[in-house]
Structure 1
Amino acid sequence: MSSNTPMMRQYLEIKSQHPDAILFFRLGDFYEMFMDDAVTASRVLGLTLTSRNKGAAEQVPLCGIPYHSSQGYIARLIDNGFKVAICEQVEDPRDAKGIVRREVVQVVTPGLVVDSDNLQPKENNFLLALTAGEEGVPGLSCIDITTGAFRLTECRNLDELRSEILSLDPREVLLPGEGSGLELEAALRPVLEGRLVTRLPEWVFEEDRARRLLLDFFAVANLQGFGCEHLRVGVQAAGAVLHYLRETLQGSLEHIRSLSPYLAAEHLILDAATRRNLELTAAQGEGRKKGSLLGVMDRTVTAMGGRKLRHWIQYPLADVARIRARLAAVGELRDKAGVRDELREALEGVHDLERLGARIAMASAGAKDLTALRASLEKLPGIRAGVAQLEAPLSVRLAAAIDPLEDVRQLIAEALVDDPPFVLREGGLIRDGFHAELDELRLISRQGKGWIAQLELQERERTGIGSLKVRYNKVFGYYIEITRTHLARVPEDYERRQTLVNAERFVTPALKDYESKVLGAEERIQALEYDLFQEVRRQVAAQGSRLQGTADALAELDVLAGLADLAHEADYACPEVDESTRLHIEEGRHPVVERMHLGERFVPNDVLLDTEENQLLVITGPNMAGKSTFMRQVALITLMAHMGSFVPARAARIGLVDRIFTRVGASDNLASGQSTFMVEMTETANILHNATPRSLIILDEIGRGTSTFDGLSIAWAVAEYLHDQARVAAKTLFATHYHELADLALTRERVKNWNVALREWNDQVIFLRKIVKGSASHSYGIQVARLAGIPAAVVERAKEVLRNLEAGEFGREGEPRLARSRKRPSAPNPQLSLFGDGEDALRRRLEEIDVSVLTPLEALNLLDGLKKLV
């Protein structure tokens, strides 16, 4: 370092304090980046890479950006997973003795973005901390610095932790940088992909240190008041979050006023596979809101309402009383259309109070943020008047929680002009009449400028020089300019200041006196306005808890009004939610599919599931007939009811559900080395280990990822297990192409057969989209293949092969003969029947069988043989 210039030594010293961030080093009107930072930034941002010390043996890579357009560049670096440390000049170069002093004033990371231009309005931006306790219990804490929402929880296992990570969708994750943290990172690698992982020393996660940090920050004696005293591992993670905030952010954290614990038992649990398969917040394969449940349900008109709705979808309630309270509020708003419309119209004018409050508390808010807050507060009396017309207990509670904040509104209205500038240090912020000294300085400034104009007129008359002008520049201040042709008329009291090619510049004692007053007043005005603005901002920030409470109440009202509007427009019904284990939906519809323009009318369907007679429904029928849509709509209607939303059905009774499981679709997990079938079996194992009689299970084509016999055997055994194990015994929809599973209804009392109705016409299938009792006799796969455009020759050959298979075209050793010949006489199928060829062999075999020891597959094949014998 000693061989570098003083400026580069300063740069290297500051860079050493932020080794994992790209350092924006302020040099005049530019942010400069050097060495590795310059190479990285030039690649990501498309900047020209140059070098310092050109011609020297050791050249330093260099690139830069104008400081006034830095936000866009910072956003692109953050989106690519980088941190940015902003280093500013913290003293006036004119006052510097030697090199200008510089300091890092802000570190921007993906999890700590506060600039609204770099945020999605209706999505939280979470920073997450993870750790594993001594007994392997994962602890989690998350914060959205833009709203102040600070939460923690403990998960029962890694699967539950993975689900939480996917639900919160954090942009940055904090982990211990050694020991258990490395093991945790390895186990979570697939769900951490694409997120910035920041590794902290292990001592940051120590329980005693984390607890002390939280107690000091909230100024409390213990954490019992927050309800998280017993969540030891969660507290460790929360302490790590707070440590990181203090080390990284330079602004105030006063808007973080509470620490909220939450547990899985408080919500309907949705694992990662279920969230993905049900497309709750994003459509599969597209990652977009459109085509998801959120895309259909979001009628919110505020950003904070949009975030609240997303949270409700991701964390449905598991408490009947709270669900019914929401339903009552939605129902009243649906019925009172006038009140609902007025409320939604008033809410449209409300800005994002949560994020405004956070920026104000962190001293990063500008004057336009405060005027936006004032405009929003002006809407509150009308909103309160509208809510006052509602009688539902939840609406009444929310109305009481709306603080009109009249004192805050009045302060901003009296202090700030209606349309303040973006720049805070150049004046024009404060309204006339707000501050006596400022008004006096403004008067001096205005009078001074008028005096200058009057002086120009007087001097023209006195000298007889019509072209005389009084002008101003930043170097010389005010001066009198006279062209060379009139220099002979210059009075003796003029003092020459500057000589130009065609003119001379002069000053007078009177002009110098007024200049000092006017220019001094201008500088004092700008400084005083900035000080006054900061004081107003501090006073508003002091009311942050009131603002936060009001924002939360408005967000909830926005969601309730949006759900009511959707229920009215889409003809949704109020579900009856109770403590039973019964699930009965009449004329249910898929909330997303019914709103798509698919060229046909959506066909509603009924379903009845319980734990007494209709626990497991085996659903058969061809592909494209609607099995998956039907099963998903049952799951979505159940979830919507637990949110407190009306549902797309004529009527619904929804017994409280603790978890929704889905095993749908085929996908590899190459990152963890898992094949499609392995993923299928892993998800199925998770269901069998964690389901309870209060769970709802959606299974689609279990066993299809392996051979026919293996797959059928697994599907049969899984269905039996779900029925027979009292610990599980969950309500289940089981779609399959294995028609043999229909025979389960003969041996298991709570298994029922349903199928998707269709009609055949001229070798074509017509899908009726109706779920009816009974099992399907065929899969109609060949007809579906024709619809997909499979060549006619392939379709015809497939029909021949199918006829041979159905006729039992197998050799005595169980090998298919269809590969050797297209046509053979019909014969019994030993591979399916287990009995060899011929009726006599079947009779002899029946006499030898002890049916009490048959496996499910053997029993299945026995039934098949008996059918053929009959």
Structure 2
Amino acid sequence: MSALRQLGSSSDGILSASVSKAMFETIARNILLERTDCTLELYEGSGSNWRLTKSGTPGNIGSFEDILFANNDMEDSPVIVALFPACRESQLYVGLSFLDMTNRKLGLAEFPEDSRFTNVESALVALGCKECLLPADCEKSIDLNPLQDVISNCNVLLTEKKKADFKSRDLAQDLGRIIRGSVEPVRDLLSQFDYALGPLGALLSYAELLADDTNYGNYTIEKYNLNCYMRLDSAAVRALNIAEGKTDVNKNFSLFGLMNRTCTVGMGKRLLNRWLKQPLLDVNEINNRLDMVQAFVEDPELRQGLRQQLKRISDIDRLTHSLRKKSANLQPVVKLYQSCSRIPYIKGILQQYNGQFSTLIRSKFLEPLEEWMAKNRFGRFSSLVETAIDLAQLENGEYRISPLYSSDLGVLKDELSVVENHINNLHVDTASDLDLSVDKQLKLEKGSLGHVFRMSKKEEQKVRKKLTGSYLIIETRKDGVKFTNSKLKNLSDQYQALFGEYTSCQKKVVGDVVRVSGTFSEVFENFAAVLSELDVLQSFADLATSCPVPYVRPDITASDEGDIVLLGSRHPCLEAQDGVNFIPNDCTLVRGKSWFQIITGPNMGGKSTFIRQVGVNVLMAQVGSFVPCDQASISVRDCIFARVGAGDCQLHGVSTFMQEMLETASILKGASDKSLIIIDELGRGTSTYDGFGQCCIAFLVFLLQVC
């Protein structure tokens, strides 16, 4: 990086620094993917004339996707959430709307809320929110400080907008342009909400969805239910090490890093990320996932066969997204064709399975794949590609329209072939003239210099006299000498001119092919959903069988019955570290007997690890994974709340003890008799007597009464 210098000579000038392209890409990834306190704007120009060409936020990275993921997988789908708090008859309500631009999805929800905004916190975690829109001038009776604390704790960028931006006028009409299908179901959905419509209008305006006609007819909208998944607060996400952190020494430090054995490029990682933040509550759904994992665990050939095929699948979601860009070319079309052409092999592998879960595999995976592979769906796209694109040129790294697809292209292709034949004949004649073997000693290359001959320095010394007399040396490098003559230069110029005409002629045809390919988006989206789920489930099986001590399938019971019994349980991340000989522990939470437990012991005795591993095992089970235990029986929990570690917040005038009390208050407001609550050393922010006597005991008594 160079030294700082000022852009502009007036007092309004700003400090700047010149960086390399690689450094800029690193900075962009840091701002948009890791930090949540900055936005990024890209200007182009010189002198005093600069114009904004790109802008991005952690929630809206679309403009910078090509930079961010040129050499990296897209592991998460950033979501923007808009909130509108309102107070009616002394009850606080929150209207929520979210936008997932990667998956082109909108959602709405509204719900009563407590003073600590515990429901909002759970929703931000479950949705994977990266940015939150909030009206700058809410009702004065509503204290927004706790909400702002929640947004900060969830590591979400807060963007305040004018209250006037939260409008619902003409909302149904606007949505009718971008939502796939009829507008009537959209009207029926909107009629169910009072407070969520303003946030939805704010999202449409903020993301400028209506300004981009490639969005038209490509979005879906849904009603979001907070009770569909296990609720997690931000403290639980940190305590259980669910997400990867900057300071992780290796990938096994986090639950995501440990469980990520996915093969597809990006798709499986994003789904795993979402599943870890949205553990299931329905016993049947959990058992369906566990059945699939068991099938893969018991059949290594099935698992390995799938892994080999899934490794050849590109990121279908992102390729589909690329088709909708106005600058799209043939590359995503071809890659989609190549990736989806692997599906018959995946079907064949799944069809060979004849175990006890064959019916589930057929209904869950085979039937959807067969439906979307039909001739009137993927078959039509396959025919388009095979007819319109010259697949033989892919070996040369070129994406061309087939000359058979257009008569004008056919004529130009014939002319190009004639010139190519002349160039190849000249190659043979030149080799004979210099007494060199074709290709082995004298090579013909095509690049930025056009068509040129190349030979090694050793060969150049042998023919130097003839070379300097009849040929023109263009370049001398370590890898050899490049040269040409008048005939080759004329033929190369002819070829470049014809190729330019060919490229111009095919540009319109390319646009038509890309546009028609975009109409198959629904096919690709369904393929991506099936393949990414297969990828994550086989990843769970691979983890369960490859650990030092294999994982076991947990027995799942409904939340109002059964107990939590973990025999020989281990912490999956800790036991995966090198040099660690983990000592298993039993945990027996029995209703009416040991449903509530206090763990005591000396420092460094493993108390914190034990309570964390209980939460991790329950989370993994409800995600649908096997668990690191000798035997496990788990009653489904509706949420996991955690208070592990504490720190003060001096900027807000909050001491360590006060911070503990605020977090504890949030737990008490959100917990139910079906919750799993993990508390580590409550009250240590003050004296031992006060912390244990006045705080800890009072909290435990109240918790026992509530839960």
Q: Give yes or no for TM over 0.5.
A: yes
SS in 2 for 1:111: coil
* Counterparts in 2 of 1:77 and 1:129: CA distance versus 1, 3 Å: same
CA deviation vs aligned residue, 1:812-831 (integer Å, no higher than 9, x gap): xxxxxxxxxxxxxxxxxxxx
CA deviation vs aligned residue, 1:704-748 (integer Å, no higher than 9, x gap): 22222212212222222333x1xx23xxxxxxxxxxxxxxxxxxx
Name the counterpart of 2:410. Answer: 439
Counterpart CA distance in 2 for 1:396 and 1:106 is 45
Counterpart CA distance in 1 for 2:700 and 2:11 is 72
Shift of 1:345: 1.2
Counterpart CA distance in 1 for 2:663 and 2:692 is 17
Name the counterpart of 2:79. Answer: 126
1:27-426 equivalences under 5 Å are: 49=6, 72=25, 75=28, 79=32, 81-84=38-41, 108-114=56-62, 115-119=65-69, 120-133=73-86, 135=88, 136-154=92-110, 156-157=112-113, 158-166=117-125, 168-179=127-138, 187-190=146-149, 192=151, 197-218=158-179, 220-223=182-185, 229-246=191-208, 250=212, 252-254=214-216, 256-283=218-245, 290-302=252-264, 303-390=266-353, 391-393=358-360, 396-402=363-369, 403-404=372-373, 405-418=378-391
1:719-798 equivalences under 5 Å are: 719-723=700-704, 725=705, 728-729=706-707
Name the counterpart of 1:563. Answer: 540
Counterpart CA distance in 2 for 1:181 and 1:255 is 40
Q: Does 2:533 match 1:553?
A: no
Shift of 1:107: 5.0
Do the aligned partners of 1:328 and 1:392 also contact (CA within 8 Å) in 2?
no
Counterpart CA distance in 2 for 1:248 and 1:530 is 27
Shift of 1:248: 8.3
Paired positions, count = 606
Do the aligned partners of 2:178 and 2:217 also contact (CA within 8 Å) in 1?
no
Do the aligned partners of 1:442 and 1:525 also contact (CA within 8 Å) in 2?
yes
Shift of 1:319: 0.8
Name the counterpart of 1:660. Answer: 640
SS in 2 for 1:587: strand
Do the aligned partners of 1:165 and 1:191 also contact (CA within 8 Å) in 2?
no
1:1-16 equivalences under 5 Å are: none
Do the aligned partners of 1:415 and 1:434 also contact (CA within 8 Å) in 2?
yes
Q: Which stretch shifts more, 366-375 or 536-545?
A: 366-375
SS in 1 for 2:196: helix
Counterpart CA distance in 1 for 2:142 and 2:250 is 32
Shift of 1:578: 1.2
* Counterparts in 2 of 1:716 and 1:61: CA distance versus 1, 3 Å: closer
Counterpart CA distance in 2 for 1:624 and 1:515 is 75
CA deviation vs aligned residue, 1:747-781 (integer Å, no higher than 9, x gap): xxxxxxxxxxxxxxxxxxxxxxxxxxxxxxxxxxx
Counterpart CA distance in 1 for 2:165 and 2:380 is 42
1:408-487 equivalences under 5 Å are: 408-418=381-391, 429-444=400-415, 447=418
Counterpart CA distance in 1 for 2:400 and 2:21 is 20
Name the counterpart of 1:574. Answer: 553
SS in 2 for 1:663: strand
Counterpart CA distance in 2 for 1:70 and 1:441 is 43
Identity of aligned residues (%): 28
Counterpart CA distance in 2 for 1:46 and 1:197 is 32
* Counterparts in 2 of 1:356 and 1:664: CA distance versus 1, 3 Å: same
* Counterparts in 2 of 1:47 and 1:385: CA distance versus 1, 3 Å: farther
Do the aligned partners of 2:125 and 2:232 also contact (CA within 8 Å) in 1?
no
Counterpart CA distance in 2 for 1:62 and 1:274 is 41
Counterpart CA distance in 2 for 1:647 and 1:200 is 45
* Counterparts in 2 of 1:690 and 1:168: CA distance versus 1, 3 Å: closer
* Counterparts in 2 of 1:233 and 1:522: CA distance versus 1, 3 Å: same
SS in 2 for 1:616: coil
The partner residue of 2:572 within 561, 581, 591 is 591
Shift of 1:255: 7.2
Shift of 1:614: 1.5
* Counterparts in 2 of 1:243 and 1:85: CA distance versus 1, 3 Å: farther
Shift of 1:317: 0.7
Counterpart CA distance in 1 for 2:572 and 2:578 is 13
Do the aligned partners of 1:45 and 1:77 also contact (CA within 8 Å) in 2?
no
Shift of 1:661: 1.7
Do the aligned partners of 1:584 and 1:654 also contact (CA within 8 Å) in 2?
yes
Do the aligned partners of 1:330 and 1:645 also contact (CA within 8 Å) in 2?
yes
Alignment RMSD (CA, Å): 4.1
SS in 2 for 1:620: coil
Shift of 1:674: 1.8
Shift of 1:629: 1.1
Counterpart CA distance in 2 for 1:358 and 1:255 is 13
Counterpart CA distance in 2 for 1:527 and 1:148 is 33
Shift of 1:561: 0.8
The partner residue of 2:660 within 665, 676, 680 is 680
Counterpart CA distance in 1 for 2:11 and 2:698 is 71
SS in 2 for 1:140: strand
Shift of 1:281: 1.1
Q: Which stretch shifts more, 303-312 or 71-80?
A: 71-80
Letter of the 1:279 counterpart: N
SS in 1 for 2:203: helix
CA deviation vs aligned residue, 1:34-55 (integer Å, no higher than 9, x gap): xxxxxxxxxx997865659xxx
Shift of 1:66: 12
Ranked by relative contact order (alpha carbons within 8 Å, sequence separation 6 or more), the top structure is: 2
Shift of 1:577: 0.8
Q: Does 2:579 match 1:625?
A: no
SS in 2 for 1:243: helix
* Counterparts in 2 of 1:290 and 1:668: CA distance versus 1, 3 Å: farther
Do the aligned partners of 1:704 and 1:711 also contact (CA within 8 Å) in 2?
yes
SS in 2 for 1:173: strand
Name the counterpart of 1:867. Answer: none
* Counterparts in 2 of 1:625 and 1:325: CA distance versus 1, 3 Å: same
Do the aligned partners of 1:320 and 1:577 also contact (CA within 8 Å) in 2?
yes
Unaligned stretches of 5+ residues in structure 2:
426-490
* Counterparts in 2 of 1:65 and 1:428: CA distance versus 1, 3 Å: farther
SS in 1 for 2:365: helix
CA deviation vs aligned residue, 1:134-160 (integer Å, no higher than 9, x gap): 544223333332332433333543233
Which structure: larger Rg?
1
Unaligned stretches of 5+ residues in structure 1:
1-43, 89-101, 455-513, 730-870
Counterpart CA distance in 2 for 1:195 and 1:720 is 34
Q: Which stretch shifts more, 133-142 or 340-349?
A: 133-142
Do the aligned partners of 2:567 and 2:632 also contact (CA within 8 Å) in 1?
yes
